[in-house]
Amino acid sequence: MTAGSLTILVIDDNRIRASIIEAGLRDAGHRHVTVIHDVAGIARRIAEIEPDVIVIDLENPNRDMLENMFQLSRAVKRPIAMFVDRADQASIEAAVDAGVSAYVVDGLKKERIKPILDMAISRFNAFSRMARELEEARSELENRKVIDRAKGILMKSRGLSEEAAYALLRKTAMNQNRKIAEIAQSLVTAAGLLGPLEGE
């Protein structure tokens, strides 16, 4: 995705600072920049605008304001670069936990905006990829467990070897054009409904 094609939302209640961010983004070639000065109803505005990246600038954020922004970060699943004038360790840790991709303390300079934005996007993408891979691994493990249980049911109820039980699952899956894990899940569910006679 090129710089010009990104839709960027800037949230900043200070108009002067917002104009610095906007100028930095436009200098970097970003043409689709929307600036919002009022955080009221922000979730709805984000849904309307559907930005690729969000830049949040908070001059002197209090606890509640930070917490609101962190909740927003968790909800929107987008790269977020957050500029604050000052922060304590707890705020920084909370920002990381909330999934803020770049949390910049005392760093609002026009020329720094593009590299920070680029970093926020690449960190968000890396984090998303890791989360996806973790989910796939978890799902793979879950599938393997279900397949093992289904094999166990077939071995017990039909007196099959493990290889023959797996072959039957595979053949059924191919015939029905479904995944082996789906067939296994159906079998495990059915066995559970039938009770201990067919059960494990």
The closest of 54, 51, 58 to 14, measured between CA atoms, is 58
| Partner residues linked to 7 by β-bridges | 32
% of residues, the chain, pLDDT over 70: 92
The closest of 124, 117, 116, 136 to 99, measured between CA atoms, is 124
- The answer to whether position 118 is within a domain reads no
Q: What pLDDT shows up at residue 110?
A: 73
The answer to whether residue 70 scores a pLDDT higher than 80 is no
Alpha-carbon distances, residue 194 vs 145, 159, 173, 188, 197 (angstroms): 20, 18, 21, 10, 7
Q: Are residues 102 and 141 in the same domain?
A: no
Q: Give the tokens for residue 27.
A: 């200098």
Q: What pLDDT shows up at residue 198?
A: 43
The answer to whether residue 184 scores a pLDDT higher than 50 is yes
Q: Are residues 29 and 94 in the same domain?
A: yes
- The answer to whether position 114 is within a domain reads no
Q: What pLDDT shows up at residue 81?
A: 84
The answer to whether residue 200 scores a pLDDT higher than 50 is no
Q: Are residues 104 and 140 in the same domain?
A: no
Q: Are residues 140 and 98 in the same domain?
A: no
Of the listed ranges 88-92, 122-126, 151-155, the least confidently predicted one is 88-92
Q: Are residues 39 and 87 in the same domain?
A: yes
Of all helices (H) and strands (E), which one includes residue 121?
helix 110-158
Name the pLDDT band for 152 (thresholds 50, 70, 90). Answer: very high
- The answer to whether position 67 is within a domain reads yes
Q: Is the pTM of this model over 0.85?
A: no
- The answer to whether position 10 is within a domain reads yes
Q: Are residues 104 and 149 in the same domain?
A: no
The amino acid occupying position 2 is T
Question: At which of 72, 93, 108 does a domain end?
Answer: 108
Q: Are residues 32 and 101 in the same domain?
A: yes
- The answer to whether position 120 is within a domain reads no
Q: How far apart are CA 72 and CA 100, in angstroms?
A: 10
Angle at 81 between CA 128 and CA 46, to 5 degrees: 80
Q: Are residues 148 and 184 in the same domain?
A: yes
- The answer to whether position 113 is within a domain reads no
Q: How far apart are CA 102 and CA 88, in angstroms?
A: 15
- The answer to whether position 154 is within a domain reads yes
Dump pLDDT digits (tens) for 20-65: 888 888 888 888 888 888 777 777 888 888 888 888 887 777 677 7
- The answer to whether position 158 is within a domain reads yes
102: containing domain: 3-108
35 contacts 7 by C-beta, under 8 angstroms:
no
The answer to whether residue 121 scores a pLDDT higher than 90 is no
Q: What pLDDT shows up at residue 199?
A: 42
Query: What is the number of domains present in the chain?
Result: 2
Q: What pLDDT shows up at residue 76?
A: 78
Q: What is the CATH number of the domain that holds 71?
A: 3.40.50.2300
Question: At which of 61, 93, 108 does a domain end?
Answer: 108
Name the pLDDT band for 3 (thresholds 50, 70, 90). Answer: low
| Mean pLDDT, the chain, integer | 82
Average pLDDT over every residue of 143-159: 92
Q: What is the CATH number of the domain that holds 173?
A: 1.10.10.10
